[in-house]
């Protein structure tokens, strides 16, 4: 039975790079996201094979159908799940609304919890599995006007540790990565005109001891390490991939 990995938010950025990285290493990949056309473009770069699981993560009925369809395919065994999908909306204490907090909670934490809760019996039945959650350096060291995002990313780190404790006896590992500033569509600068974007990136690069912001591939490499057997004796870890920004 061929090994497989489920990647959420796989249509662009870190998710797309992660899916391609797993495919390079022989994994069949399940690409989950909202944009079917962009998922299809990523699938073309996954030479080990890919299936599109197009759905909105907050639609639990649609999500359950996609997950059950995936688990019922007997030619692939899902060994890894990467909870990468997320949203980011800045807001101050007074400017935040219940809706903004709810959106962050539903997408950035509850959806990953739902996915893992659904896959946990499957992993136990098949003798183990690996969970990689994508948190953020803001979950470790928040900055102003990121309250909802930072709080939920901090919760993801704590939840990952709980998963490691509960999953250990069943050979289910759980780890998370904490990316810093990465050039992905989640950031507003990604859509700036090229000259403005170059200027903004230069300013941001100066914040990193390593002198540049991250690329999706930087994070994908670490996600693959934690998801695969390369890290077979690692669980409950939180790996910062941030160019050293939290040291500055």
- Annotated active-site positions, please? 149
CA distances in angstroms from 117 to 38, 85, 163, listed in the order given: 27, 17, 10
d(CA 185, CA 14): 10
Backbone angles phi, psi at 155, to 5 degrees: -60, -35
Residue 70 half-sphere exposure toward CB, CA atoms < 13 A: 31
| Calpha distance 68→51 (Å, rounded) | 14
Q: In the 8-state DSSP scheme, what is residue 52?
A: E
φ, ψ for residue 225, nearest 5 deg = -60, -50
Cβ burial 150-176 (10 Å sphere, 16+ → b, else e) = bbbbbbbbebbbebbeebeeeebbbbb
What is the rounded CA–CA span in Å between residue 173 and residue 143?
30
Tokens representing residue 165 in the block: 């404790």
Retrieve residue 3's tokens: 């090994």
Beta bridge partners of 28: 4
């Amino acid at each position: 039975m061929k090994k497989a990995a489920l990647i959420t938010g796989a249509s662009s950025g870190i998710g797309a790079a992660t899916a391609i990285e797993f495919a390079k290493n022989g994994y069949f990949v399940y690409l989950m996201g909202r944009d079917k056309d962009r998922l299809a473009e990523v699938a073309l770069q996954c030479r080990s094979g890919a299936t599109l699981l197009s759905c909105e993560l907050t639609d639990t009925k649609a999500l359950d159908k996609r997950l059950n369809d995936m688990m019922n395919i007997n030619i692939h065994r899902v060994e890894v799940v990467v909870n990468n999908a997320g949203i980011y909306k800045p807001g101050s204490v007074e400017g935040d609304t219940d809706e903004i907090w709810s959106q962050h909670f539903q997408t950035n934490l509850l959806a990953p919890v739902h996915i893992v809760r659904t896959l946990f019996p499957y992993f136990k039945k098949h003798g183990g599995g690996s969970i990689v959650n994508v948190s953020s350096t803001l979950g470790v060291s928040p900055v102003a006007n990121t309250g909802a995002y930072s709080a939920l990313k901090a919760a993801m780190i704590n939840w990952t540790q709980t998963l490691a404790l509960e999953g250990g006896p069943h050979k289910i590992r759980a780890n998370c990565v904490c990316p810093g500033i990465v050039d992905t569509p989640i950031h507003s600068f990604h859509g700036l005109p090229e000259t403005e974007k170059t200027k903004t990136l230069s300013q941001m690069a100066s914040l990193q001891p390593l002198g540049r912001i991250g690329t999706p591939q930087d994070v994908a490499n670490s996600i693959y390490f934690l998801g695969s057997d390369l890290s077979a004796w690692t669980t409950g870890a939180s790996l910062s991939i941030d160019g050293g920004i939290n040291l500055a």
